[in-house]
């Protein structure tokens, strides 16, 4: 498996080498073309100059001695080899052997070449001049004409290609040296860059491995030198780890709480049943204990039903629109309040109901909202002292309906307020009070309200606690 370092370093190195190779090939080709063009251009100038000199000589305006002397000097100054031929290609004079060379009198056999020189006025070639030179040369041939354009002869000027090749090799050597240095520097820089880029990923992998092996506190260390993408990835991982850590703690707490809540009623039921079976509890007292067993069974049934309701709401991810209806929230709240009439009278509570004189319609699941109001009122009645005040208020605010349920009683400590909606949370840690409460009522309330896309809040000060939730106001 390739590492991130290898995935970065190897492609960059290959691309760099490919680019340098391509640039080198293109540079060498361009340099060769440029040098060849320069050499042929210079030879063309020299050929025309020597053709003019030969024209003067062939028209009789210059003596043989003067022409040979000037012809030889011109060839030496231009560092070229010049050959004067007749119009039909017979060699007349060589610049390197003005007094006569071994090739004097030989004939250029390539008739197509001679025709090209005469028809085009010049021939520029690169190659071997058979019969004259063995090495590859740049060769330029132009016609020698008089003032009337008549062809008097041919002037062939050439130069060995080796000088150009030597210059090209020198330039190539310089380029290769610079390229090798660039490759070395680039490889070193790419190495450190790739290492730097792969380091945070290695740290992330190490942290993820530690987290996967149970270290829920493992987090990726954030560094200001990280790239934006790496930093975003690290933040996303840390946020995910925090969420999973919280979920795991909640799961552990949930299991512990459920175990604790189930332990007491199941122990009670088991103990009383065993007592009746083994005769410890006499028959005349069994009815009383059977009622206790029945009450504990009903409590277990309420717990299971509440947990199923919560699970169903969470699985739905929200209340489907087809399960929502338009109904009068005032009427719904009033009907729920009437069901607590007996408990309110038993505690002699003072009830303060504040509602508008006109109906307040909302669009929600009526059964769930009824359960929310019931749980809040049940909680308020339960914790309200005798002769205390119980409040139920509905008011409009923009496009929302605000429902508030309040009661007198002990003030909830500020540090407990954020926890009152948690599962199995009770202010009384010993759980000795309110035996009928499982600590799920407020959690169910928040789950239902949030499933409708609404909010719920709680405040508690100066001996008064108030829960407020919102619902949409419709016409």
228-315 to CATH, choices 3.40.50.880, 1.10.287.130, 3.20.19.10, 1.10.340.30: 1.10.287.130
pLDDT for 380 equals 93
pLDDT at site 425: 63
Domain over 320-472 is classified CATH 3.30.830.10:
no
Q: How many helices (H) and strands (E) does the chain have?
A: 10, 12
Q: What is the pLDDT of residue 430?
A: 40
User: Is 203:211 a contact under the CB 8 Å cutoff?
Assistant: no
Indicate if the alpha-carbon torsion angle 30, 36, 39, 44 is positive or negative.
negative
Burial string for 236-254 (b: 16+ CB within 10 Å, else e) reads ebbeebeeebeeeeeeeee
**How would you classify residue 445: left for phi > 0, otherwise alpha for psi between -120 and 50, otherwise beta?**
alpha
pLDDT attached to residue 143: 95
**Nearest-angstrom CA–CA distance, 117 and 83:** 14
Measured from the Cβ of residue 263, the count of other Cβ atoms closer than 10 Å reads 10
Of 3.30.450.20, 2.60.40.2220, 3.40.50.1100, 3.40.50.800, which CATH number belongs to 4-166?
A: 3.30.450.20
- What is the rounded CA–CA span in Å between residue 380 and residue 351? 11
Write down the H helix ranges in 79-218: 111-120, 162-212
Q: Are 154 and 85 a contacting pair, CB within 8 Å?
A: yes
Sequence-distant (6+) residues with CB within 8 A of 79 are: 159
Distance CA 423, CA 26 (A): 74
Residue 1: strand, helix, or coil? coil
Euclidean distance between the first and final Cα of the chain, in Å?
A: 64
Nearby residues of 406 by Cβ (< 8 Å), 6 or more positions away: 380, 389, 390, 391, 393, 464, 465, 466, 467
Give the pairing type, strands 361-364 and 389-397: unpaired
Q: What averages of pLDDT result for each successive group of 10 residues across the chain (475 residues)?
A: 64 80 83 87 93 90 85 89 90 78 76 89 88 85 91 92 83 82 81 75 82 83 73 84 80 68 76 87 86 81 72 71 92 92 93 94 92 90 94 93 94 86 60 47 86 92 94 93
* Residue pointed to by tokens 């699941």: 365
Domain boundaries, the chain: 4-166, 228-315, 320-472
Which pLDDT does position 351 carry in this prediction? 95
pTM exceeds cut of 0.85: no
């Amino acid at each position: 498996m390739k590492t991130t370092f290898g995935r970065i370093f190897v492609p960059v190195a290959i691309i760099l080498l490919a680019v340098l190779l391509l640039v080198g090939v293109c540079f060498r080709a361009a340099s060769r073309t440029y040098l060849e063009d320069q050499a042929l251009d210079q030879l063309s100038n020299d050929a025309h100059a020597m053709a003019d000199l030969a024209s003067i000589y062939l028209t009789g305006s210059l003596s043989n001695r003067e022409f040979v002397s000037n012809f030889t000097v011109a060839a030496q100054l231009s560092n070229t080899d010049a050959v004067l031929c007749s119009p039909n290609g017979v060699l007349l004079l060589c610049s390197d052997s003005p007094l006569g060379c071994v090739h004097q009198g030989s004939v250029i056999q390539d008739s197509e070449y001679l025709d090209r020189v005469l028809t085009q006025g010049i021939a520029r070639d690169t190659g071997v001049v058979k019969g004259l030179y063995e090495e590859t040369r740049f060769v330029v041939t132009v016609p020698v004409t008089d003032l009337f354009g008549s062809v008097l002869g041919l002037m062939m000027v050439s130069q060995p290609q080796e000088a150009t090749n030597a210059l090209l090799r020198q330039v190539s050597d310089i380029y290769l040296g610079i390229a090798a240095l660039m490759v070395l520097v680039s490889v070193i820089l790419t190495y450190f860059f790739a290492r730097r880029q792969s380091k945070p990923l290695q740290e992330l992998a190490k942290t993820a491995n530690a987290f996967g092996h149970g270290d829920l506190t493992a987090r990726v260390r954030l560094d200001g030198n990280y790239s934006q993408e790496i930093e975003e990835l690290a933040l996303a991982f840390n946020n995910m780890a925090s969420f999973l850590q919280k979920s795991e703690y909640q799961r552990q707490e949930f299991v512990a709480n459920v175990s604790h809540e189930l332990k007491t009623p199941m122990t009670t039921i088991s103990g009383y049943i065993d007592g009746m079976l083994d005769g410890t509890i006499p028959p005349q007292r069994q009815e009383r204990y059977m009622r206790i067993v029945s009450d504990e069974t009903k409590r277990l049934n309420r717990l299971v039903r509440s947990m199923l309701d919560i699970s169903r709401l969470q699985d739905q991810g929200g209340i489907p629109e087809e399960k929502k209806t338009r109904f009068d929230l005032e009427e719904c709240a009033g009907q729920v309040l009437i069901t607590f009439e007996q408990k309110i009278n038993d505690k002699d509570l003072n009830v303060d109901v504040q509602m508008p004189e006109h109906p307040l319609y909302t669009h929600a699941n009526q059964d769930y909202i009824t359960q929310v109001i019931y749980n809040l009122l049940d909680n308020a009645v339960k914790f309200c002292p005798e002769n205390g005040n119980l409040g139920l208020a509905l008011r409009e605010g923009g496009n929302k309906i605000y429902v508030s349920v309040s009661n007198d009683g002990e003030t909830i400590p500020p540090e407990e307020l954020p926890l009152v909606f948690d599962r199995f949370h009770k202010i009384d840690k010993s759980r000795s009070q309110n035996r009928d409460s499982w600590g799920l009522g407020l959690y169910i309330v928040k789950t239902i309200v949030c499933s409708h896309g609404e909010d719920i809040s709680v405040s508690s000060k100066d001996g008064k606690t108030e829960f407020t939730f919102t619902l949409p106001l419709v016409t």
